[in-house]
């Protein structure tokens, strides 16, 4: 009985740890969130803050998730005509001691061709690959609205 209780406690502790911020190899990922898309949408946006607590620059070279066929880094640019346009970002470099925030209206991870339906509170696994820090698994929480930079 004690073994079952211990196993359950470890399972719940691991689940709680995945739902929170993630820190590995000098990179800290804060507030990883996937915005709930409308029911028929084939795309969605995900957000997070990357903090480089290490001593070397780190280049975010890939984002993968089973939630969609494609995951790309995008920025939003408002043109002189007032229309927002999205452009794919090149691999993102985060210098030591620097922070980069993916927030609504600025930058996001664009998920194309979503695979499953989600609801607020779901946890969605992602894999972030950095050139120095390596692969960092992160759980993104499904939220109702995009975080802002304010």
Number of structural domains the chain divides into: 1
Considering the domain boundaries, does residue 149 fall inside one? Answer: no
Is this model's pTM higher than 0.95 or not? Answer: no
Domain that holds residue 34: 2-143
Question: Is it the case that residue 18 has pLDDT exceeding 50?
Answer: no
Higher-scoring residue by pLDDT: 16, 24:
24
> Which residues is 129 bridged to in the sheet?
62, 135
Question: Is it the case that residue 49 has pLDDT exceeding 50?
Answer: yes
The sign one gets for the Cα dihedral 140, 37, 47, 127 is positive
Q: Which residue has the tokens 């719940």?
A: 12
Considering the domain boundaries, does residue 97 fall inside one? Answer: yes
Instruction: Check if the beta carbon of residue 64 is closer than 8 Å to that of residue 127.
Output: yes
Considering the domain boundaries, does residue 150 fall inside one? Answer: no
Residue pLDDT, tens place only, 90-133: 999 999 999 999 998 889 999 999 987 889 999 999 999 999 99
For residue 111, the domain's CATH number is: 2.60.40.1890
In this prediction, residues 128-140 reach a mean pLDDT of: 97
Considering the domain boundaries, does residue 17 fall inside one? Answer: yes
Distance CA 142, CA 122 (A): 5
Q: Tell me, what's the pLDDT at 145?
A: 87
Higher-scoring residue by pLDDT: 118, 16:
118
pLDDT band at 20 (very low <50, low <70, confident <90, very high): low
């Amino acid at each position: 009985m004690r073994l079952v209780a211990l196993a359950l406690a470890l399972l719940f502790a691991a689940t709680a740890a995945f739902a929170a911020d993630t820190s590995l190899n000098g990179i800290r990922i804060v507030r990883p969130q996937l915005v709930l898309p409308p029911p028929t949408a084939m795309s969605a946006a995900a957000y997070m803050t990357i903090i480089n607590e290490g001593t070397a620059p780190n280049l975010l070279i890939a984002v993968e998730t089973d939630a969609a066929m494609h995951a790309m880094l995008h920025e939003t640019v408002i043109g002189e005509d007032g229309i927002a346009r999205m452009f794919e970002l090149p691999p993102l470099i985060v210098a030591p001691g620097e922070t980069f925030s993916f927030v609504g209206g600025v930058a996001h991870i664009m998920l194309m061709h979503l695979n499953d339906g989600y609801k607020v509170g779901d946890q969605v696994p992602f894999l972030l690959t950095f050139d120095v820090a390596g692969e960092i698994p992160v759980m993104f929480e499904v939220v109702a609205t995009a975080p802002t930079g304010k």
